[in-house]
Structure 1
Amino acid sequence: MPRPRTFNEDRAVDAAMKAFWTFGYEGTSTQDLCEATGLGRSSIYNTFSSKRDLFDRALRHYMDTRNAAQLELIQRTDLPIRERIRELLWDAVEPAATDPLGCFVVNTLVELAPHEPEIAELLERDNLLRVEALTTAISAAQAAGELDAGHDPDALARYVFVVLSGLRVSARAGATPAAQEAVVVAALRTL
């Protein structure tokens, strides 16, 4: 008879997410995962079957939790569109103190998507969901006179996410908050 689990699987996935977010898939060893989760190798492999399975669960957990917050912000109608976009971008300037630098999705896009079509497709679907939500919000703001109606809302939405990704990459590379803030200010001026 197998022993009952004595750990919280969701907490283990969250801890693994932060390890993969910090070091990437290839850079995260099984020992790193053991240290991050507090689990032994056998518990990791009995629960998740492989490092890749745990990575996939961690990436989906990130997308479900982090991107849900982005969608909620984008869809708020009580804030002007520029304020919603500023808050979206500002998250890269002042991330939560417990978060690793950068973005797990962007890091994975760079590391794995070029040679793993399934990962590339998953990340593209995730990105498209957020771009479509922002495109809808921008279109509504244009109709309300908040933004110039002469600009393509889809292009503006994609622009915002490219800036957000760039901010996260540059944060990981050591950009200062002042430099990041200047980028946010410049991006908001273009809207």
Structure 2
Amino acid sequence: MLDAAVACFWRHGFDATSIRDLIGETGLTAASLYNAFGDKRSLFRLALERYIEGGIGQRLARYQEVSPLEGVRGYLRDVVERSLNDPANKGCMVVNAALEFATRDSEFRPMIAGTFARIEAFFLDCVRRGQHDGSVTRALADEDLARHCLAVLMGVRVLARIRPERAVLDGAVAALLRSLEARPDEGLLISRNDHAEIRPDTP
């Protein structure tokens, strides 16, 4: 029943989803729906939590155990493939919710912001491990690279809704991956937390 609600909200968004839509999708009567889940907002919260843990959470877990660059590459390519194989072009339910009402809704904004922070933390871990093993560039601060990864991910998610074209999405991901790769002529990067600056290598 909750998965059916996820599908309904994901397809239509919160505001455009009616109780009639939810009744039709879940097969519940109005009375049963209210008894089981409360009001529409409560059901949306449960649906969004289920989407986050069943989709984003599982994807993060899947790519945390691989090499740093492969983790970033795998996560983003997974998103691209899911986007291209979605005939309804639904995008990401969390991104859709952010665009729909997160800036004006004090209940859902922390939940959505926390999810984005969780994804950024995954990218930051990949970047730091890659900078440590030499596979990721040290020419930029780890926090900046992680935020760049998050920004590209958000862009891909939005682009996929209006231009679900492989060349467009693959191109955005490929450019990001090239920007992450370490170069042989890099200097030593001091952590941003220690007043980061790029210093030339010394003999």
Give TM-score, length-normalised by structure 2.
Answer: 0.81
Aligned length: 178
Could you say if the C-alpha distance between residues 100 and 49 of structure 1 is closer, same or farther in structure 2, counting changes exceeding 3 Å?
Answer: farther
Deviation at 1:55, TM superposition (A): 0.3
C-alpha offsets along residues 3-45 of structure 1, whole Å, 9 cap, x if unaligned? xxxxxxxxx1111111111111001111111122122212111
Instruction: Give distance in 1, aligned partners of 2:147 and 2:69.
Output: 15
Deviation at 1:61, TM superposition (A): 0.8
State the partner residue of 1:91: 78
1:183 aligns with 2:172: yes
1:132–1:154: 8 Å Cα contact kept in structure 2? no
The structure richer in helix per residue is 1
1:74–1:134: 8 Å Cα contact kept in structure 2? no
Name the larger-Rg structure: 2
State the partner residue of 1:70: 59
Three-state SS of the structure 2 residue aligned to 1:101 is coil
Counterpart of 1:132 (choices 108, 117, 121) is 121
State the partner residue of 2:199: none
Matches within 5 A, 1:27-66: 27-66=16-55
Runs of 4+ that moved beyond 4 A: 96-100
Moved more, 80-89 or 90-99: 90-99
Could you say if the C-alpha distance between residues 60 and 87 of structure 1 is closer, same or farther in structure 2, counting changes exceeding 3 Å?
Answer: same
C-alpha offsets along residues 94-126 of structure 1, whole Å, 9 cap, x if unaligned? 107578621000000111111112211111112
1:142–1:148: 8 Å Cα contact kept in structure 2? yes
C-alpha offsets along residues 30-88 of structure 1, whole Å, 9 cap, x if unaligned? 11111221222121111111111100100111111212123213421xx3322221221
State the partner residue of 1:161: 150
Instruction: Give distance in 1, aligned partners of 2:165 and 2:122.
Output: 30
Unmatched runs of 5 consecutive residues or more in structure 1: 1-11
Three-state SS of the structure 2 residue aligned to 1:73 is helix
Counterpart of 1:118 (choices 107, 117, 122) is 107
Instruction: Give distance in 2, aligned partners of 1:167 and 1:133.
Output: 17
Give TM-score, length-normalised by structure 1.
Answer: 0.86
Counterpart of 2:13 (choices 5, 8, 24) is 24
Instruction: Give distance in 2, aligned partners of 1:73 and 1:156.
Output: 21
Instruction: Give distance in 2, aligned partners of 1:142 and 1:49.
Output: 48
Unmatched runs of 5 consecutive residues or more in structure 2: 181-203
